[in-house]
Amino acid sequence: MIQDKKKIKVVFFNRKPRHLGNFSIEMYFKLMQEYLQENFEIINKEMPFESNGLFNRLFNTIFCTLNQGEVNHITGDIHYVAAFLKKYKTILTIHDCGMLYESKGLKKKIFNFFWFKLPLKKVQIITVNSYATKVDVLKLNYCKPDMIEVIYVCISPEFKQIEKSFNSENPRILQIGTAVNKNLKHLIPALKDIKCTLVIIGKIDSEIKNLANENNINLELHDRRLSDEEVREEYNKCDILSLVSTLEGFGMPIIEANVVGRVCITGNTSSMPEIAGNASHIVNPFDIHDIHLGFKKIIDDKEYRDSLITNGFKNATRFSAVALANQYSKLYNKIAINK
């Protein structure tokens, strides 16, 4: 009797999500696991502690050291846990370098050392989800270019095309996320004098609320953790997806809007033009007037709007889950033979 070939043991080291944090990393690798588990034994290890404070992070690092597999895959955000893992058995996924852009002084130096300089010297392979992120990582000069593999992010098959008539009289504009890089301080003033409903998923502070009031924006706020189904329903109901961010490691909402059949407006920085291709209206996220004109163009020009939606369906095909899982499979097999 021929025994089945033993599967390679791959350990996913996942961050412990915050209550109202961003769960996109977890959702993505959960989907990847579905395509990988036929050929690999995937073991998920969620960190015992949230990534804050010295002791929490130290305990997370020890936890990972004690739970290694034939392949160790740090799926993102908790780069520092690479410190004591076996270098030739470890892959690190870097989603963006945003923390370096958003921090200053001592905080930036700490992030730089523990999230980039140290981990990049402690792993065999680095994966990034866009060529823009690869460029950012190489600027740090902590690793060689051939260590970095670009593997895009795939979209959940739960997102499907949903027909909807565009409401040009009062379009519903969907904004997912409220972090600093999501650029609400420029988005909201850009919508002044445009009759619309701005739907925001995420918590906002009093400054953003006041900004919406000052610019007479009709605001619909979802400041609780929505289910995946509820998020998809917001895509279905919207007319425009807004992602005029200053920085995105990938920009998944662009592709999600493409699949559903919604027109998207996005920024011309970091990964967004790469991911959007010719399937979104691209603006300067630092220029309020340019953002305003972008929304007006989408709302007023039906032919242009329809062309973006058509291009979006084609664009989304670049992000096939099967193809991306095959890329990870090759890396896991390569790592597994290292001694």
Pure H helices in the chain: 24-36, 54-65, 98-102, 105-111, 118-120, 131-139, 184-190, 206-214, 228-237, 252-260, 272-276, 288-300, 302-316, 321-336
> Is residue 19's pLDDT more than 70?
no
pLDDT of residue 1: 45
List pLDDT tens digits, range 180-202.
999 999 999 999 999 999 999 99
pLDDT of residue 23: 55
> Is residue 26's pLDDT more than 90?
no
Dihedral of alpha carbons 268, 272, 277, 280, sign: negative
Q: How many of the other CB atoms lie within 10 Å of CB of 165?
A: 6
Would you say 113 and 73 are in contact if contact means Cβ atoms under 8 Å apart?
no
Dihedral of alpha carbons 7, 324, 285, 263, sign: negative
Portion of the chain with pLDDT greater than 90, in percent = 84
Cα gap 237→223, rounded to integer Å: 18
Rounded to an integer, the average pLDDT of 73-86 is 96
> Is residue 118's pLDDT more than 60?
yes
Would you say 117 and 142 are in contact if contact means Cβ atoms under 8 Å apart?
yes
The pLDDT-based confidence of 3 (bands split at 50, 70, 90) is low
The chain-wide mean pLDDT, for the chain, equals 93
Who contacts 135 (Cβ-Cβ below 8 Å, separation ≥6)? none
pLDDT of residue 228: 85
Q: Point out the least confidently predicted range of 95-109, 211-225, 282-296.
A: 95-109
Q: What is the pTM of this model?
A: 0.84
